[in-house]
């Protein structure tokens, strides 16, 4: 992801996590808050429940790819409403076992719920 499309500071993550929009799935948890800027921004973090650093890095890479393809895509529901969002995605331990196609499907459900639109 490009630098301008990422959340970077602790305060940016905290404000998105304290937002009202929330999605909880099997492999990921998502939070969103309307952004002040003119672009959607994504922050990715991994739960410490994933003990091994190698597995945490693998989970982070998978989650970034899903965010890039599902959340930042031109046809994403986040972009259709005209409102820009700051989104935080948190990986859970099952992210390592879920096939990538199911992870993409879960991320698309999260996007619909976070954008508060009907599928």
What is the rounded CA–CA span in Å between residue 7 and residue 13? 7
Total-model pTM: 0.86
What is the rounded CA–CA span in Å between residue 40 and residue 7? 10
Q: In the prediction, which pLDDT does 118 show?
A: 41
What are the φ and ψ backbone dihedral angles of 49, each rounded to 5 degrees? -65, -20
Structure tokens at 108: 């698309």
What is the rounded CA–CA span in Å between residue 104 and residue 66? 6
Q: Which residue ranges in the chain fall short of pLDDT 50?
A: 117-119
């Amino acid at each position: 992801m490009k630098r301008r499309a990422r959340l970077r500071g602790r305060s940016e993550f905290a404000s998105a996590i304290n937002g009202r929009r929330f999605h909880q799935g099997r492999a990921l948890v998502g939070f969103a808050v309307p952004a002040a800027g003119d672009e959607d921004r994504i922050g990715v973090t991994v739960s410490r429940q994933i003990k091994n650093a190698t597995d945490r890095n693998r989970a982070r890479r998978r989650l970034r790819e899903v965010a890039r393809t599902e959340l930042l895509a031109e046809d994403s529901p986040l972009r259709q409403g005209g409102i820009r969002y700051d989104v935080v995605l948190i990986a859970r331990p099952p992210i390592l076992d879920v096939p990538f196609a199911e992870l993409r499907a879960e991320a698309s459900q999260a996007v619909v719920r976070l954008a508060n639109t009907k599928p």
